[in-house]
Structure 1
Amino acid sequence: MRGGVEQKKEQKKEGLLEAAYQLFLEKGVNKTSVDEIVKKANVAKGTFYLYFHDKTQLLQQLTYRISARVLSEAYEYAEEHKTGVFVEDIILMVDYIVEYFKRSRLTLRLLERNFSWPMIEKQLDLREDPLWDKLVTAIESSSLAVGCTEDVLYKRVFLVVELIGSTCFATMIENKPDTIDNMKPVLYDMVRKMLA
């Protein structure tokens, strides 16, 4: 019985996140109200506040979810197309992310500059994020790990992800300083240097 209740709760939360995602893409975050989200999710307004303090917290969870999905897809793509050279495998991930946002500019607009590693610091030691755990295992067997702590490795990867998100947003949404296709060689060169 308890499992059924928890499953229904999770379904309601998922419904709210999905409804918000669709509305945010259609109308934008600022023009979407909590009332519209609950109506689209077909739940009572009070249900919204069981899961989220406000629309900002919902957007934050949605941002983490999207970031995690894109990073996970990029990792799987890189695994399927491994070069055997760690830094070049990271470039495969980076290229996947760039191409994803080229195809889904509305999602990039929704994320703004908030595409980032969807993990809080206290999870680092626990390695609860399965993607982070896989990546750490790969990093630990690479030359990148020589003389680095896991914390330093995390910070390097974090900076790479932040650089990708900012570059994609600036080039694809703000059209600065050039097109993403012209920026790709510069971005990939910077990532290689950051991970060298």
Structure 2
Amino acid sequence: MGKVEIKKKEKKNALFQNAFDLFIDKGFAKTTISDIVERSGLAKGTFYLYFKDKYDLRDKLVVYKAGQLFTDAHNALKKYPDMDFEKQLLFVTDYIIERLQAQHNLMKFISKNLSWGIFRDTFSNTVPQESVPFYEYYLESMKKSHIICAEPELLLFTIIELIGSTCYNCIILEQPVSMDKYLPYLHQSILQIFRSFTKREQV
């Protein structure tokens, strides 16, 4: 990556981070584009190089923040290259839940948007490719484990939607129970979903 591209990435990341801080501190409705660029130390024209408006920034910021979660989970998972695939799924689940429990502001911002929409957008060429390494690892690890799955994207979609809605209700609302109390049931549900989508290749 050249110096120009690095500078562009740094400016975009600055807009993302400062917008996130302002949305948390002031709320989305009360935060203006002027607030964001002023805190970022950038000209307003720079903002429009990356985003159409404040709503476009918010949507891409959700993708960016959620993408970082999965990228971090992927990097943590690299320490256990020989872990069974089912255990990998639960490891990533627990990693994401622990981060969201520790960062309520992040959970509130992402809200119920930790969903397949995050990945659908992330796979496009119009937003940062934050989660692509995780998805590629997911496919490669499944192949390495001799797991046959006709619809790997639908499998991941189902699991991600379940984790997203569960985190929102159990962490933010603490309904119907706390996240800690519900976690064993979530694990069981994820494994049942996984096994219904897949079969082991005979080797």
The TM-score, its normalising length taken from structure 2, stands at 0.82
Output aligned runs, 1:147-166, within 5 Å: 148-149=149-150, 152-166=151-165
Deviations 1:43-82 (A, max 9, x none): 2222212210111211122111111211122223233246
Gaps of 5+ in 2: 196-203
CA distance in 2, matches of 1:73, 1:93: 9
Task: Identify the residue that residue 119 of structure 2 maps to in structure 1.
Answer: 119
Deviations 1:1-54 (A, max 9, x none): xx4444333322222111101112222222222111111111222221221011
Contact 1:82 1:89 in 2 (8 A): no
1:137 to 133, 137, 140: 140
Gaps of 5+ in 1: none
Question: Percent identity at matched positions?
Answer: 29
- Secondary structure at the counterpart of residue 39 of structure 1: helix
Q: Give 1:43's aligned amino acid.
A: L
Q: Give 1:134's aligned amino acid.
A: Y
CA distance in 1, matches of 2:42, 2:75: 35
Please tell me the root mean square deviation across aligned C-alpha atoms, in Å: 2.2
CA distance in 2, matches of 1:46, 1:121: 25
Q: Give 2:85's aligned amino acid.
A: F
After superposing on structure 2, the runs of 4+ consecutive aligned residues of structure 1 that deviate more than 6 Å are none
CA spacing shift, 1:43–1:184, aligned 2, 3 Å: same
Q: Give 2:137's aligned amino acid.
A: K
The TM-score, its normalising length taken from structure 1, stands at 0.85
Contact 1:171 1:178 in 2 (8 A): yes
Q: Give 1:190's aligned amino acid.
A: S
Contact 2:63 2:121 in 1 (8 A): no
Deviations 1:81-104 (A, max 9, x none): 467321122101101111111100
